Chains A and B, each alone.
Chain A
Amino acid sequence: MSEPRRGISLAADKLRKSYRLGRVTLEVLKGVSFEVAAGEFVSIMGASGSGKSTLLHLLGLLDRPDSGSVRLDGAEDVGMSGRRRNALRCRDIGFVFQFYHLLPELNVLENVMLPARVEHSPAAWLGQGARARERAQEVLRLVGLAERLKHRPKELSGGERQRVAIARALMNDPRVLLADEPTGNLDSRTGGRIMELVHECSERLTLTVVIVTHDASVAKQAGRCLHLKDGRLVG
C-alpha cells in the first residue's frame, strides 16, 4: 500500500440547523461548536433525534447549516462552491452509513470502485482504471473481503455489507472518515468486529474519524466522546 495521507483537523463553529415539518419548524442543532484534531478518533453520542446524523452530514458537507460554519483543515465551508464541496467529498471525506447504501446493481468490487469512477473523467479513467482496480482490491483485502469481489450486495451478510461500505469510504484514500451509526444495523458481535476494523483503519491510515452512535459501548471506543442532547453538546 502506498503511503497514506494523514488525517486533517475538523471544526464546527456555532452550527445551527432546523427543518420545516409542515407548519412546524424543528430546530435540530442549536449552536454546536467543537474541534477534532488531525488523526483524532471522536465519537458523538446521543439519543435518537438528538441531531447526531444532521451534525455528521454538516461536517461531511452533505448539507448546509442555517448558520455557523464547518472548517476542514482550516478551510471554511461558507461560500464554498458546489464543485469544491463535491471535490472535497470525493477526495477527502469517506462516509459510512447505518444502512450501508450499496448499489444493488454493482458487485462488491464495482461498489468499492465507485468513488474512483466519480473522481476521474472518462479520459483519465483510461489511464487510472487499472490502478483504481488494484486500489479497490487492496482496501477489500484490508477489510477482509478479498475473496468476495464478484458478489452482489444481496449475497452478503450485514457485517460484510458494512465492510464493503467501509472499503468504499476508504477507496479514494480520504483524510476524514465519517460514520453514521455503523453498527446500528448489526448484532453486537458483528458490530464489535466492525468497530475493530474502523479502529484498525484509523490507526493504520492515520485518519481523522468521527463516529455518531447512540450505543455507549461503541462510543467509548473512541479517543474522545461528545454528547449531544436536544441539539446541544453537553459534555
Chain B
Amino acid sequence: MYKLFLCLRYLRSRAIAYFAVVGVALCVAMMVIVISVMNGFLGKIETAARGLFGEMLIMSEGVAGIEDYDAIIRRLKDDEEFPEVESATPFIATYGILRVPGFEYRQTLQVVGIRLPGDPSGAAAVSDFYSEVSDFEQGLHFQRGPDGTPPQQPSFAPSREQLLAAIERERERIDELAEKARAERDEQTLIAAGTARELQRRAMYVLRQAEDINERIAAVEAHMAEVRQARNDVEDLEAELADARLEGLPEDEVQAVADRLAAARDRLSGAMQAGPGGGSRTDDVSAYLTALEDLLRELSARRFEPPSRRAILGLGIPGLVHRTLDGETIRKISPGNKIVLSLVPLGRGTVGTAGLQPIDVELSVVDDCRTDVSSIDSNIVYLPFEALQKLTDMDLPPRCGQVLVKVHAEHSDPDSLLALRGKIERRLVRPGAMVAVRTWRERLSDVIGPLEKNRTLSAIMFGIVSLVSVVLIFVIFYMIVVQKTRDIGVLKAVGASSGGVAGIFLAYGAAVGLIGSVLGTVGGYFFVRYINEIQDAVDRWWGFRVWRKEVFLFERIPNEVEFTTMLWIVLSAVSAGVIGALIPALRAARMQPVEALRYE
C-alpha cells in the first residue's frame, strides 16, 4: 500500500518531479507532432496519388503513345481476365503555354486530356471515364450543387444555368471577402476581388448571350460565304468577259456575259448592302471581308466554346487565384472566361523538327479543380481527352499517353499491385513495345523515396530524443533517490522490503512517464489539430512560414493524429519513465538500512 501512497506523495510534493514531467511532456508532444505530420504527409501523398492516377499506370515510354488503348481497357475491365481491376481510363499529358485574352499573362503548365461523362467530343467516349479512376469530381467547384455536394457526373458540358447560378454564389462570396478586406485594409485582396468581379461579369455575359452570339457568328459566317461566292462569281465572269472579247466572240454572246456580270455585281453589291450590322458602305470587297473577319473574331472572343473546346483549370495556377490572409481563395477566372493554350503536337507525323509548330487554341473555362496537391493544382489544365488527342496529332491513329488503372481495394496492397503489374506486362504489353507498367508507388518513387528516408531519419532522431528523456528521468530520479536516502532507511527500518522500495521509484517513474505523456499527447494533439491555424498566425505576426506548399506539395499541413500512434507514444514514454527510474530504483532497493540511516 505504501508504494502507491509514497509514489503519489513524492509526485505531488517534489518540484523536481515537475521538471521530469515537463521534459517527458515536451518529448512526447514533439514526437506526436512530427510523427503525425510525417505519417499524414506520406498518407496524403498516397491518397492523392491514388485519387489522381489510380493504383496502376500503363505508360508510353516515348511520345509515340499507346495505340490500342481501348482494347487494353476493355481487357483490363474484363472481370474474368483481370478481376483485380475496377476501372481504367486513357490519359494524355503534354505541356503548353496558357494565356488569358485581354491580360498580359503567360504561364507554362501541364495540359492533360481526360475523359469525363457528357463529353461529346469523342464518339467512343461513352465509358472509361477519368472520374471512375480518380476522385476528380470531389475537387470541382462550379459543378457542385448549391449545398456543396460534388457532381455525380463531372463534365466539360455542364448546363449554362448551373454555371450561372454557381458564378452568382461565387460573386456573393467574393463580395463578402472584399467587404472584410476593406475593413482590414487588405489592398491585394481588394484588387483581386475587383479583377474577379470584372471577369465574372464578362463570363456571365458570355454564358447568357451564348446562343445569341452563336447565331450571330453563324449568320456572319453564312454571309461571308455568300459574299465570297458572289465575289468569286464576279471575278469568274470578269475573266470570262475578257476572254470573250479577246477571242472575238460575237457581240450578242459578249453582251450576254456582260449582262450576267452586271447581275453578279448587283448580287454582290446587294449581299454587301444586306450584311449583318447594317452592311457595307464601301465597294471594296476585300476591305468588307476583312471587316467581317474582325467582327467574327470579336464575336468568337465572346463565344462560349463547344464542349470540345473547353477546359478545367487547376485551382492554384499562379496569377489566376488570390489567397486572402484568412486562407480563402479568390478565383479570378470563372466559367465562361476564355483562355488560349499554345500546344506542341506530339504525334508521329510531327516528330521531325520541321513539324514541331506550336498551335494556339481558344478554350472556354467551365470549372476549376482542387486536388489539394499543390504541385498539381498550380500547374495543370484539363482538356477533353479526344480534343487534346486531335490538338496534339495523337488522333491518327488514336493514341493515348497513359492508361490509368484503378484496382479494387482488396487488391491494392503493395504485393498484390506488384503481382498485377507482372500480369499486365505479360498479357497486355507486346514484347518490344515502348510501354511500361508502373504501380503508383513506383511512379512516385522520386517523391516517396526521399520522404521515407526522411521518416527513417526522424525515427533515429526521435530515438535519440527518447534516449534523452530516459537519461533525463534517470538523472532526476538519481537525484531524488540520493535526496531520499534517509527515507529509504526509515522505510526499511519499519519493515519495507527491497522490492517494495524499488517499486516506489519504479511506480514514480511510470507515473512521471504517464502524466508527462498524457500532457504531451494532449498538447501535441491540439498542436497538430490546429497546426495550420498556428502557422497562419505565425505567418501573419512574424512573416515566418515553415510549411511552404511549393516545397511540401500540399496546400495544408496534414493534421490528423492516429489513435494507435498516440497509444504507442504513451506506452514508449511510460516505458522510458520506468527504464529511466530502473537504475535509481535498484540502487535504492540495494541500500542497506543502516547505511541509509547514517547518510549525511
Given A83, A110, A115, which contacts B497 in the complex, CB threshold below 8 Å?
A83
Complex Cα spacing A82 to B589, Å = 13
Contact, CB under 8 Å: B2 / A117: yes
0/1 per residue, A84-128, Cβ < 8 Å to B?
001111110001010001110110001000110111111011000
Main secondary structure of the interface of B (DSSP, over half): helix
Find chain A residues with CB under 8 A from B487 CB. Answer: 101, 103
Given A82, A95, A106, A119, which contacts B493 in the complex, CB threshold below 8 Å?
A95
Contact, CB under 8 Å: B13 / A105: yes
Q: A117-B1, A117-B2, A125-B1 are in contact. Are A101 and B486 (CB under 8 A)?
A: yes
Considering only residues 133-162 of chain A, those with a C-beta below 8 Å from chain B are none
Find chain A residues with CB under 8 A from B218 CB. Answer: none
In the complex, how many residue pairs between chain A and chain B have their CB atoms under 8 Å apart?
75
Chain B, interface size: which category?
20 to 34
Complex Cα spacing A86 to B489, Å = 12
Q: Does A60 contact B (CB under 8 A)?
A: yes
Q: A83-B497, A86-B496 are in contact. Are A118 and B4 (CB under 8 A)?
A: no
Contact, CB under 8 Å: A118 / B490: no
- Which of B191-199, B275-283, B591-599 lies on the face that meets chain A? B591-599
Q: Does B139 contact A (CB under 8 A)?
A: no
Q: Does A16 contact B (CB under 8 A)?
A: no
Chain B residue nearest in CB terms to A119: B495
Contact, CB under 8 Å: A114 / B494: yes
Contact, CB under 8 Å: B493 / A60: yes
Q: A62-B594, A114-B2, A120-B1 are in contact. Are A89 and B9 (CB under 8 A)?
A: no
Chain A residue nearest in CB terms to B593: A62
Q: Does A168 contact B (CB under 8 A)?
A: yes
Q: Does A57 contact B (CB under 8 A)?
A: yes
Q: Does B95 contact A (CB under 8 A)?
A: no
Q: Does B491 contact A (CB under 8 A)?
A: yes
Complex Cα spacing A168 to B495, Å = 12
Complex Cα spacing A97 to B496, Å = 17
Find chain A residues with CB under 8 A from B103 CB. Answer: none
Contact, CB under 8 Å: A63 / B495: no
Find chain A residues with CB under 8 A from B492 CB. Answer: 62, 86, 89
Q: Does B10 contact A (CB under 8 A)?
A: yes
Considering only residues 180-232 of chain A, those with a C-beta below 8 Å from chain B are none
Given A57, A124, A168, which contacts B494 in the complex, CB threshold below 8 Å?
A168
Q: Does B523 contact A (CB under 8 A)?
A: no
Chain A residue nearest in CB terms to B487: A103
Find chain B residues with CB under 8 A from A103 CB. Answer: 6, 487, 490
Considering only residues 15-62 of chain A, those with a C-beta below 8 Å from chain B are 54, 57, 60, 62
Main secondary structure of the interface of A (DSSP, over half): helix
Q: Does B5 contact A (CB under 8 A)?
A: yes
Find chain A residues with CB under 8 A from B12 CB. Answer: 105
Find chain B residues with CB under 8 A from A91 CB. Answer: 495
Complex Cα spacing A115 to B4, Å = 14
Given A63, A83, A122, which contacts B593 in the complex, CB threshold below 8 Å?
A63
Find chain B residues with CB under 8 A from A63 CB. Answer: 592-594
Q: Does B500 contact A (CB under 8 A)?
A: yes
Find chain B residues with CB under 8 A from A115 CB. Answer: 494-495
Closest approach, in angstroms, between the C-beta of B505 and any C-beta of chain A? 14
Complex Cα spacing A88 to B594, Å = 16
Complex Cα spacing A54 to B593, Å = 12
Contact, CB under 8 Å: B10 / A118: no
Q: Does B498 contact A (CB under 8 A)?
A: yes
Contact, CB under 8 Å: A118 / B594: no
Find chain B residues with CB under 8 A from A86 CB. Answer: 492, 495-497
Complex Cα spacing A168 to B245, Å = 146
Given B13, B489, B495, B592, which contacts A118 in the complex, CB threshold below 8 Å?
B495
Closest approach, in angstroms, between the C-beta of A170 and any C-beta of chain B? 12
Closest approach, in angstroms, between the C-beta of B4 and any C-beta of chain A? 7
Given A60, A88, A101, A106, which contacts B9 in the complex, CB threshold below 8 Å?
A106
Q: A89-B495, A118-B2 are in contact. Are A57 and B489 (CB under 8 A)?
A: no
Closest approach, in angstroms, between the C-beta of A151 and any C-beta of chain B? 15
Complex Cα spacing A114 to B9, Å = 13
Q: A101-B597, A105-B9, A118-B491 are in contact. Are A82 and B1 (CB under 8 A)?
A: no
Chain A residue nearest in CB terms to B2: A117
Find chain B residues with CB under 8 A from A168 CB. Answer: 494
Find chain A residues with CB under 8 A from B494 CB. Answer: 89-90, 95, 114-115, 118, 168, 172
Find chain A residues with CB under 8 A from B592 CB. Answer: 63
A-B contact pairs, 13 of them (CB 8 A): A86-B496, A87-B495, A89-B494, A90-B496, A97-B597, A101-B493, A103-B6, A103-B487, A103-B490, A105-B12, A117-B2, A117-B5, A118-B491
The 3 closest A-B pairs by CB, nearest first: A90-B495, A117-B2, A125-B1
